[in-house]
Structure formats: structure tokens, C-alpha cells
Amino acid sequence: MKAAAEFLLVFSFLSFSHGWSCKEGPQKFPAAQIDAGQGKVVMTDGLSNVYFLHEWSWYKLGTVALKHVSVGSAGIWGVDSSEKVYKYVAGDFIVSNGQNLQQVDAGGEGQVVGVTSSSTIHCLRRNAASSHRQPGALRWNSLPGALLYVSCGPHVCWGVTSTQEIYFTRMNSATCDFSGWVQVLGEAKRVEVGSDGAVFAVHPEGTVFRRAGISPVTPQGADWVQLPMCLLVKHLSYDLGFLWVVSDGGIVLRCSH
């Protein structure tokens, strides 16, 4: 019933304030999580199937069941329910040993960053990520701090803690050196960074915010601006001007400015 009600809301549909509008996206119900980067979009569903978007249709990607998938300049990476890490290579996902993760992000400038179930943070350098072509062990850099979720963009990474605090840092993709985590005012259960540096957050109540005032001088931005939506949101991702949204009920929306 909840899903049916959400579909009716989508069909009637909405417009955002602040110049944003949304429409129903391609569906693979129920969607669990979505990620966009470098012009590509991937998602997982409620059964841990992985899909790749081509034109306006979802196509199953690989044979491995993953609970989280990410796409970006580092390629397509994901983690399974036992927290093993995988990279998509030559038609399927290959396992990488050396570090277990509960969530991974490939959206930086070639590096891969992820967190464990105990909130430790780890970074795979750009060269190691790009050269990974067959199953084997990888050497990850451990970073200070404790995050539940992490997302990276050009020269920066953002993350949220288990207490829904938001943090920001500058990141060197070649070395995984970073400037140190700085807390940003606000709270979120998810923060996502686009390939152009735009930052969006999902509030614990399911509302959506965009970070305003981001510039080379103030890469952490200045304030949060809410984007009103007709549905509660559990996950989102932004790339090439499109905000991809997964509702609490598993419906995909595509929004643009």
C-alpha cells in the first residue's frame, strides 16, 4: 500500500522550489541505493541485485550480490553483505582482499574511500585503484576519525557519523593524504558529493538539502538549502546536473535544476 501511494504521488508529480523539478525515473522496484558519476548511474535493489542504467532502462550488472555500489573515476566498486570489497572488471565483479568495508565510494579523483561497520575510515590510492584488474589483496590507508558513511568529489570528501554529525576534509587522491575532518553545522544520515563538487544531504527525517556557497575559497560551503519533496528520501546521488533520488518506499526519481 505504501509503494502504491508513492507511485500515485509520482504520477501526479511535483516541482521543487529553488528552480528544481522532478519526474519519475526508470524503475527497478524496490530500489535500495543509487549512485551516479562520470555520466554513469548504478543502483542496488532490495534483493542486492546490481544494475547499470543505459538510456532509460536498467540492466543487471555482474553476478555478485552487493548491498552497496558506487561509480566514478575509480570505476565501479561495491561491497557485499559480508563486507567484502569488489571492483567491476571485464563483465563481472572481482573480489579484493586486504580490507573489509560496509560502504565504499568511487566518486573522488581516482581514489576509493570507504568505512567499516565499526566506523573506521580507509582510502585506496588512485594508482592502486586503477591498476586493480584481478582478484588479490590491496593495501588501504587507514585514516583517523569515525564515519558511518563517506562520499568524495574533486579534492574533497564529506562524511556523516553514527550520531548524524557532518564532516568535511580536503583529500589528495594520489596519496590519500587529507587535511583533517572539520565538523559542518547540521545533521544528516547521508551526504553525497557530485563530480562537480556539489553536495547534497539526506536529513534523518528524510528531507533533502543542498549545500550552498561552495567555492575554491570555501569548499565546505556556507549553508544548507532545503529542496522540498513530496516523498521521504533514503538515498540520493548527483552527477551532470541530475539528482537521482530513492524514496523510502523504493521509487527512483530524477530531478534537475
**Domain extents in the chain:** 2-10+27-256
Q: Is pLDDT above 80 for 252?
A: yes
Q: β-pairing, 199-202 with 190-193?
A: antiparallel
Separation between Cα atoms, residue 158 and residue 170, nearest integer Å:
9
163 CB-near residues (< 8 Å, 6+ apart): none
Q: Is pLDDT above 70 for 197?
A: yes
Q: β-pairing, 75-79 with 112-115?
A: unpaired
Residue type, 196: D
Model confidence at 19, pLDDT cuts 50, 70, 90, reads low
pLDDT for residue 6? 54
Q: Is pLDDT above 60 for 2?
A: no
Q: Is pLDDT above 50 for 15?
A: no
What's the rounded mean pLDDT across residues 178-186? 96
Tell me, which fold does domain 2-10+27-256 have in CATH?
Answer: Methylamine Dehydrogenase; Chain H (2.130.10)
Q: CA-based diameter of the chain, in Å?
A: 50
Q: Is pLDDT above 80 for 5?
A: no
In this structure, is the dihedral angle defined by the CA atoms of residues 164, 211, 36 and 156, taken in order, positive or negative? negative
CA distances 107 to 69, 95, 169, 185, Å, are: 11, 19, 15, 23
Find, among 189, 208, 19, 235, the residue nearest to 244 by Cα: 235
pLDDT for residue 106? 97
**Please, which residues bridge with residue 71 across strands?**
76
Label residue 149 exposed, middle or buried (CB < 10 Å: 0-12, 13-18, 19+): buried
pLDDT digits (tens, 9 = 90+) for 46-84: 999 999 999 999 999 999 999 999 999 999 999 999 999
What's the rounded mean pLDDT across residues 244-256? 96
What's the rounded mean pLDDT across residues 195-215? 96
